[in-house]
Amino acid sequence: MEQLDETGRHVAAGDRGELLDRLIGLIEAVRPGHPVRVAVDGPPAAGKTMLADELAAILRARGRAVIRACVDYFMFPREVRYRRGKSSPEACYQDSFDYPALRRVLLEPLGPGGDRHYRNAVYDWDNDAPLSGPAVLAPADAVLLLDGVFLQRPELAGQWDLSILVMSAAERLMERARVRDLARLATVTEVERRFRIRYLPAQEMYFAEAGPAENADVVVYNDDVQRPHWAVRVP
């Protein structure tokens, strides 16, 4: 049974399949007259990419065209991202992403009055190099599922037709990061240090400035991936 939380959202819990059914229903109910732009927002290691991939698979199985994208492919080069130092939370929050490019080549073309010719990447994260290529024409009823951090920043205001925030407790994020980021950062100690000094403080800045937990259409509490609970803003 759903109840109301302090923000007026309908709160429910269930298994993973129930969450996915609820989210698919919300996506399919959005009919903006252009491709549906869905933000799958949240801290590192919260489970954003997994959720976006699951939703994409279901929508495609139903015959819906899906555009998958990740904000990591709209990063600034390393020299910009790390100009304040690799441990700086301010750098993480302020210098990581090229929001004008994200709007220009992906979000605005798919939005009201856009021509639907989009690109879903401008940066090769692995090789620290720009990406170029022709724009692709999206079907009018396509769904964009873009996952990443900081997706409700002021620079992206008005760009989402549905916003989903995925959250987990800090220690659960750290637990997942120890596995996910070990190969990239070499030691568990470095994974933990990077999270505590850079990533988590950057999230605190984001929550203080943008209020994503208050403003998202859906908040998914993902501590238990198989038994999540969620809160949905119903018009």
Q: What is the CATH number of the domain that holds 15?
A: 3.40.50.300
Residue 24 and residue 16 in contact, taking contact as beta carbons nearer than 8 Å: no
In degrees and rounded to multiples of 5, residue 88 shows phi and psi of: -80, 120
SS3 195: helix
- pLDDT at position 197 is 92
How many domains is the chain built from? 1
- pLDDT at position 148 is 98
User: Which pair of structure tokens corresponds to residue 84?
Assistant: 């304040």
- pLDDT at position 235 is 64
pLDDT tens, position by position, for the chain (235 residues)?
457 666 767 899 999 999 999 999 999 999 999 999 999 999 999 999 999 999 999 999 999 999 999 999 999 999 999 999 889 999 999 999 999 999 999 999 999 999 999 999 999 988 999 998 899 999 999 999 999 999 999 999 999 999 999 999 999 998 888 888 776 777 888 888 888 999 999 999 999 999 999 999 999 999 999 999 999 987 6
| pTM of this prediction exceeds 0.85 | yes
- pLDDT at position 193 is 87
Distances (CA, A) of 223 to 76, 183, 188, 203: 31, 23, 21, 17
Residue 97 and residue 125 in contact, taking contact as beta carbons nearer than 8 Å: no
- Owning domain of residue 44: 3-232
User: CA 160, CA 226: separation in Å to the nearest integer?
Assistant: 27
- Give the pairing of strands 129-130 and 10-13: unpaired
Q: Any idea what the Cα angle at residue 159 is, between residues 73 and 45, rounded to 5°? A: 45
User: CA 225, CA 152: separation in Å to the nearest integer?
Assistant: 23
Q: Is 165 exposed, middle or buried (0-12, 13-18, 19+ CB in 10 A)?
A: buried
